[in-house]
Amino acid sequence: MRENTLAIHAGYDGNEFGTMAVPIYQTTAYEFRDAEHAANLFELKELGNIYTRLMNPTTDVFEKRFAALEGGAAAVATASGMSAIFYAIANVAEAGDNIIVAKQVYGGTTTLTGHTIRRFGIEARYFDVYEPEELEAMIDERTKLIHFESITNPSVDVADIAEIVRIADRHGVLTCTDNTVATPVICKPIEHGVDVVVHSASKYTTGQGLAIGGIVVEREGLVEKLKGNQRYYHFNEPDPSYHGLVYTDLPLPPFTLRTRLALLRDLGAAPSPFNSWLYIQGLETLPLRMRQHSDSALAIAEFLEAHPKVKKVNYPGLKSDPNYPLVQKYFKKGMASGLLSFEVESREEAQRIADSTKLFKLVVNIGDSKSLITHPASTTHQQLSKEELEAAGVPEGLIRLSVGLEDTEDLIEDLRQALQN
Ligand SMILES: *Cc1c(COP(=O)(O)O)cnc(C)c1O
């Protein structure tokens, strides 16, 4: 099946009632046929539903459909994008280990890796996404994961995925891509050798700013990278918390299996079935929406580039953008998603513009059908000094746009009047 078909059908082929839409299985638990059935499920002799913290039939459709769209083997849905990222890290790293994270990542990922996991004894080292060769000197025998974003939020940089994967693979280290901004419609990191893909489903997946969620997707064949790899000894040795189960000995994708059996079991950031149902509705139109978000964002980027009050526009889909060659290499059909930023003369000017738009709503979110505008220096990056802002690639006059699905002309008119005021 091809992408539009997968987005609409993967993971669900009707049920005994003939319900066309995927039902919402709003339940905590499931009745076992008998005591032996229950025992078999717990022992994984038979696969089936036990408890919604671990699995749910509605969530299962979402997981299968998302895995199909990413070209992965399996997926585990989580309650948020942040919990998906945390689980990807916690699945491989423990006290004394380190992970390597791109400098240009989502703010929550920076605080998670720089502060929260540090308190658990896991060190994060940071590399410049434009300098993947920095990884060579950073990798040691306790390095468990290399994490980066395909398109970074908010700086709109693009990763040279194959180059990062090449270095990681030489050392047998797992790679994890946050593909939230690109979505599988625009970029499929697994096709370029990435091991694990994570998402905030809160953004383009629901597509209408409706629910918080996340997902972890594992590539086909990851077991071969883990099997016998001392770096990941805990995938190769009996897990005492699961009757001595050895994850790499089972005929099931080991990364997602361990995320489900150990992390969802013990940490419990499971999505609600209702939210899974919302993500499924979102996926059905994802390919159509990403086309429109991308086309509209490009037209707006071109308009801004030609505007005298605009100093600089960052949009990887623009031919003049330094990321354009990477877009040609990694992104599908000329799309570059709906996120862009532009710079005006001063902080005051940027704030005035953010206050003057009518269609672009002042919101710190992305991936909504409604167009959104933010001034990072006074909100998400408020604690940084002028110098720190420059270093983080967030100058005071920078404005970020998440281009929605309104008519492009209406959005351009809105920006034109806001810039003129
Ligand atoms: C929003 C976002 C997250 C966090 O996801 P939540 O669902 O809000 O927890 C992670 N990564 C990126 C790139 C994001 O944009």
Tell me 22's DSSP state.
P
- pLDDT > 80? residue 119: yes
Pocket test for ligand 1, best of 156, 203, 364, 372 (most atoms within 8 A of CB): 203
pLDDT digits (tens, 9 = 90+) for 346-383: 999 999 999 999 999 999 999 999 999 999 988 888 87
Tell me 126's DSSP state.
E
Give the separation between CA 201 and CA 198, rounded to whole angstroms: 9
List 146's β-bridge partners, or say none: 100, 175
β-strands 312-314, 372-374: how paired? unpaired
The two structure tokens encoding residue 48: 């089936």
State how far Cα 204 lies from the chain centre: 10
What pLDDT was estimated at residue 153?
86
Closest atom, ligand 1, to C-alpha of 152: 13
What pLDDT was estimated at residue 169?
98
CA of 87 to the centre of ligand 1 (A): 14
- The CA-based angle 414-379-125, given to 5 degrees, is 120
Tell me 270's DSSP state.
P
Q: Are the CB atoms for 54 and 271 separated by under 8 Å? A: no
What pLDDT was estimated at residue 244?
93
The residue behind tokens 């790293």 is: 93
The two structure tokens encoding residue 327: 């877009």
Kindly report which listed range (110-114, 223-227, 336-340) carries the lowest average pLDDT score.
110-114
Q: Whose CA is nearest to atom 8 of ligand 1?
A: 81
- pLDDT > 80? residue 388: no
Tell me 158's DSSP state.
B
DSSP 298-324: HHHHHHHHT-TT--EEE-TTSTTSTTH
Mean model confidence pLDDT for the chain: 96
Q: What are phi and psi of 97, to 5 degrees?
A: -85, 170
Q: Are the CB atoms for 318 and 302 separated by under 8 Å? A: yes
What pLDDT was estimated at residue 394?
81
Q: What are phi and psi of 295, to 5 degrees?
A: -65, -45
Q: Are the CB atoms for 245 and 239 separated by under 8 Å? A: yes
What pLDDT was estimated at residue 234?
96
The ligand 1 site (C-beta within 6 Å) comprises 80-82, 106, 108-109, 149, 153, 178, 180-181, 200, 202-203, 212, 214, 366
CA of 136 to the centre of ligand 1 (A): 28
Give the separation between CA 50 and CA 194, rounded to whole angstroms: 31
What pLDDT was estimated at residue 236?
98
What pLDDT was estimated at residue 107?
87
Give the separation between CA 74 and CA 252, rounded to whole angstroms: 9
What pLDDT was estimated at residue 385?
78
- pLDDT > 90? residue 299: yes
Q: Long-range contact list for 407-411, CB < 8 A, 24+ apart?
A: 408/295, 408/296, 408/299, 408/300, 410/359, 411/296, 411/300, 411/359, 411/360, 411/371
- pLDDT > 90? residue 252: yes
What pLDDT was estimated at residue 23?
98
Helix (H, G, I), strand (E, B) or coil at 118: helix
Domains and CATH numbers, the chain: 11-274 (3.40.640.10), 287-420 (3.90.1150.10)
pTM of the model: 0.96
